[in-house]
Amino acid sequence: MINDVIFLHYCMHLTGETQAMKWPMRLRVVLYLAEALEYCTSKGRALYHDLNAYRVLFDDDCNPRLSCFGLMKNSRDGKSYSTNLAFTPPEYMRTGRITPESVIYSFGTLLLDVLSGKHIPPSHALDLIRDRNFSMLTDSCLEGQFSNEEGTELVRLASRCLHYEPRERPNVRSMVQALAPLQKDVETPSYELMDMPQAGASSVQSLPLSPLADACSRKDLTAIHEILEKTGYKDDEGTANELSFQMWTNQMQDTLTSKKKGDSAFRQKDFTTAIDCYSQFIEVGTMVSPTIYARRCLSYLMNDMAEQALSDAMQALVISPTWPTAFYLQAAALLSLDMENEAQDALKDGCAQETSSSSGR
């Protein structure tokens, strides 16, 4: 496990003018992650918290890695899970606990992400598999890059991982053994497969920076707070309508109360309370708000919790893949982790998205 890495832009389609991830690189991603899980298991850490695509990392040479964030202390007891309920292992719904087999289930959802380029709920994916409707599971950007046999094998592996009964799922070692023979272009460096330059980041000094980008580049947390507070929730497309529609239930009312308390604490710079309240809002899982993640990200930074902040910045990017704010906050978190090159990359990506958005108006 290594820490000096940068998060993958979810999902398999990178933003801006970058091409979709090639098939050999997608196969490399899942093999390397399986090997990382096997390593964790060998070290007595078989439980990995909430495995999903935004736990994927790249090092300086674009080799895929697994975030150490999922190995949090509170995942050891098997009681912690925060993903959308549609992607939660069925045994967790029954017992409230995860097991090593639960991690395999989540790995199956990741295999589907790699094949489809989308985050397809397992129940829907299994229906498509039973109907042999593989075309709906395959990313159209991959046309002609792999054979039917290769696609069928990846679907087979995913369906085994997603078996309802945990004991019927393969172990992580067998997944490594199954994925290794599928690898293609094994001699080609990852940075070439990703069409990225090797080990180096371009400077952002020559780029025109917006006030938020500038504040994040300087890790000026006070200025970032002022900008986020002033911006509010204007970038949450559709969220306001969803909240007003769902607020009739008691659960939604409690959720809205948590959000309001979080906003109040954030405004008053009580960032510890803000983290707690926003976490309550997020854990319900029925409403999606990139701004909530952005605000909790800054709250984590204010509490010197840079890894958690980076995770939230990337989760905001999962929800809104072209949102400049998410890139800028990612840069601030990376700077807090002394990852200067990766922070400059994130700033550059954010500037590119902001420029693209402005020119499209």
- CATH 1.25.40.10, the chain: domain bounds: 211-235+248-359
> What is the mean pLDDT for each group of 10 consecutive residues in the chain (361 residues)?
35 47 92 92 83 78 78 50 70 83 92 85 85 80 87 91 93 95 91 72 62 92 94 73 44 76 94 93 77 95 94 88 92 91 86 73 50
Calpha distance 175→227 (Å, rounded): 46
The pLDDT score that the predictor gives to residue 335 is: 92
The pLDDT score that the predictor gives to residue 199 is: 54
CATH for 211-235+248-359, options being 1.10.1040.50, 1.25.40.10, 3.40.50.300, 1.10.40.50: 1.25.40.10
Taking residue 4's Cβ as centre, other Cβ atoms within 10 Å add up to 14
DSSP 131: T
Calpha distance 53→59 (Å, rounded): 16
The catalytically annotated residue of 50, 236, 345, 349 is 50
pTM above 0.85?
no
* Domain 9-194 sits in CATH 3.40.1670.10: no
- CATH 1.10.510.10, the chain: domain bounds: 9-194
Residue 34 has φ and ψ, to the nearest 5°, of: -60, -40
Residue 270 annotated as catalytic: no
User: Which residue has 């096997």 as its token pair?
Assistant: 38
